[in-house]
Amino acid sequence: MINRLKNLSVEFKNILKESSCLADSLGFKVYLVGGVVRDLILEKKVFDLDIVVQGDAIVFAGKLSELLGEKFQRHHSFGTATVNFNAHKIDFATARTEIYSKQGVLPKVSPASITEDLFRRDFTINAMAISLNGDDYGKLIDLHDGFLDLKKKFIRVLHEKSFLDDPTRILRAIRFEQRFNFKFEDETYKLIKSALNSDALKFVSHHRLRDEIVLMLKESNPSKYIKRIHHLAGFCFINGQIKLEQKDLDVFFRIEHSLNHYHKRLKKHRILQAYLIYLAGILCKLPLDKVKKTTYDLGLKKGEAAIIYSIRKGLLSIKTLKNYKTPHIIYKTLKPYSLESILFFYAYYGKDLKRNIEFFLNELADIKLKIRGNDLKRLGFKPLKLYSEILKKLLYVKIDKRLKTKKEELSSAQRIFYGLSQQLKN
């Protein structure tokens, strides 16, 4: 059984050994649980650890962090703690049971045994534990046939009220189904359908929905996840007006394609919030004012909401780029937009805008002037209020005429200055 832990990094193995000794000395029972166990069995790489303590998780994490010489954060109201270790995160939680009083609302929790803790989990494949205590070290605890379901590639809930207790599990089920290429076990599929028929997702707070949707859109190849939700549930649970059509699904595939294309072919690699491009694709089905309200309801950060809003707003006006335009017009049109927005337009309008957008990203986006206001001052240009206009016009000239040197910029600036001064005189 110890072999289950063989794929962990040496660092993690050492931490688990330390945890094991500490647990024995404190008389606590300690387990690795949930997705980590699933991923270890599937021989996937594990980045973070989830540890359940039958005892006080905060006390345990505090003592372990002392031993490791690391800091830890405690969350008293949840009975949980986190130790950050190098780039990794180790979460500790006190074993607990959950009682759902109202659909979609977070449950009341109380300390419990590992058996009860495993029973509160979403799917059998996520309801296994590995013991970390002395003699049992490495022993798999699989009370719900999770191991068998992993082999059969099944997503199966632990009890029939599972999706009603917590409808976000419907989205989690889809996430694991698509990520691992698994199937819903028959009864689980029926329970999903019946929960959806009773509009279960509408009872979930927008913030919890957002968390699940964002997690899904951060998976690789999100378009198949979107397609799956569309066929199974639709997106009315976000807003009744969101009704995707086949042509919208095609856009998501094109977004995926354009992101791959972008990574492979476009010269500059920047950090992208790719999930926002997909989310914009879903929310773009709404009128502009509803987009604003929905991003607010979902509790998106200001910057995230602004990107989605500008995509929706620019959707029609950006079409003007369809016919070939001079380079500085392409620049002027696209420069105000984030890279996420530009890639969305690229996918949305396909070949109509492809050439101009690629041209912008490859050749224009990073063009900057070599000269600044001080250079204009040195040339004795007056009044100062003309400077921003001169520099703006100069940038467009540079883009259109492909000026390379500072000297070329200075002589163009001179001509622009002369023109503007003439206008002022008249």
Binding site residues, ligand ATP, CB under 6 A = 34-35, 50, 121-122, 126-127, 166, 168-169, 172
DSSP 398-414: HHHHT--SHHHHHHHHH
As measured in angstroms, the least distance from the Cβ of 109 to ligand ATP is 12
Q: Please, which residue, 218 or 402, has the CB nearer to ligand ATP?
A: 218
As measured in angstroms, the least distance from the Cβ of 128 to ligand ATP is 9
Nearest to 317 by CA among 293, 295, 341, 340: 341
Q: Please, which residue, 162 or 333, has the CB nearer to ligand ATP?
A: 162
CA quadruple 106, 108, 114, 116: dihedral positive or negative?
negative
| 155-179 burial: b if 16+ Cβ within 10 Å, else e | bbbbeeebbbbbbbbbbbbbbbbbe
Q: Is residue 315 within 8 Å of 281, Cβ to Cβ? A: no
As measured in angstroms, the least distance from the Cβ of 123 to ligand ATP is 7
As measured in angstroms, the least distance from the Cβ of 164 to ligand ATP is 12
Q: Please, which residue, 187 or 219, has the CB nearer to ligand ATP?
A: 219
Q: Please, which residue, 162 or 295, has the CB nearer to ligand ATP?
A: 162
As measured in angstroms, the least distance from the Cβ of 124 to ligand ATP is 10
Question: How far apart are the C-alpha atoms of 407 and 195, rounded to whole Å?
Answer: 70
As measured in angstroms, the least distance from the Cβ of 105 to ligand ATP is 12
- Residue 32 is given by DSSP the state E
As measured in angstroms, the least distance from the Cβ of 402 to ligand ATP is 48
As measured in angstroms, the least distance from the Cβ of 302 to ligand ATP is 25
Nearest to 272 by CA among 224, 210, 331, 343: 343
Q: Please, which residue, 15 or 125, has the CB nearer to ligand ATP?
A: 125
Nearest to 50 by CA among 75, 31, 67: 31
Residue, CB closest to ligand ATP: 35
As measured in angstroms, the least distance from the Cβ of 331 to ligand ATP is 40
As measured in angstroms, the least distance from the Cβ of 120 to ligand ATP is 6
Question: How far apart are the C-alpha atoms of 91 and 78, rounded to whole Å?
Answer: 12
Pairing outcome for strands 88-94 and 49-54: parallel
Q: Please, which residue, 146 or 327, has the CB nearer to ligand ATP?
A: 146
By the 10 Å C-beta count (0-12 exposed, 13-18 middle, 19+ buried), 372 is classed as: exposed
The first and second tokens of residue 356, run together, are 């101009």
With vertex at residue 338, the alpha carbon angle to CA 335 and CA 342, rounded to the nearest 5 degrees, is 80
Q: Please, which residue, 180 or 359, has the CB nearer to ligand ATP?
A: 180
- H or E element in which residue 261 lies: helix 246-265
| 330-349 burial: b if 16+ Cβ within 10 Å, else e | bbbbbeebbbbbbbbbbbbb
Q: Please, which residue, 155 or 390, has the CB nearer to ligand ATP?
A: 155
- Residue 82 is given by DSSP the state E
Strands (E), 164-216: 183-184
Helix residue ranges, H only, 274-326: 274-283, 288-297, 302-317
Q: Please, which residue, 19 or 168, has the CB nearer to ligand ATP?
A: 168
As measured in angstroms, the least distance from the Cβ of 34 to ligand ATP is 3
Beta bridge partners of 96: 111
Q: Is residue 275 within 8 Å of 222, Cβ to Cβ? A: yes
Q: Please, which residue, 126 or 341, has the CB nearer to ligand ATP?
A: 126
